[in-house]
Structure 1
Amino acid sequence: MEYISTKEAAEKWSLTPRMVVYHCVNGRIKGAQKIANVWIIPKDAARPEDRRKAYRIGKGGGVYQTFHP
C-alpha cells in the first residue's frame, strides 16, 4: 500500500495540512497511521466529510439547514 504525507493530502483535498492532522487525530481518515510523530495516509483514502452546517431563513420565515460543499 502506498502512503502520502499530510501536506500531499492537503493539496489533494484542498485543505490545510493542519486540518488533515485534525481529521487524522479524530479518526476521520480511514487507514491513517501515526509513525514516529508523523502521520501517513493511504494514497487512496477518501476526503473526510465536511460536517459543518449552515442555517438560512427562507422567504416564508422557516429555518432551513444547508450543508457546505
Structure 2
Amino acid sequence: MGEIIEVIYENGVLKPLRPLKLKEGQRLRVRIYHEDFLELAREMRKQVTPEKFREDPTDYLLRLREEET
C-alpha cells in the first residue's frame, strides 16, 4: 500500500506537511517529484481522457524519463 504526501525540505530533512500514520522506526521507500514535474502531470490529466490514456500520466512521464537514460 502506498500514498503520495507533500513534504518540505528544511535543514537537510524532509518534513511532511501533515501527520502520517506510521509506526516508529518503519522503513519506507521515497520517490521525489519536483513541483514542475507534478504540474506537467496535472496539465496532462486535464487534457487526456481515460479512454485515450490508460496509464497514469505521472507513471507515463517517469517511464519516458527512465527510457531516455
TM-score, structure 1 as length reference:
0.19
Kindly indicate which of the two structures has a greater share of residues assigned to helix. Answer: 2
Bigger Cα Rg: 1
Kindly indicate which of the two structures has a greater share of residues assigned to strand. Answer: 1
TM-score, structure 2 as length reference:
0.19
Relative contact order higher in (CA < 8 Å, ≥ 6 apart): 1
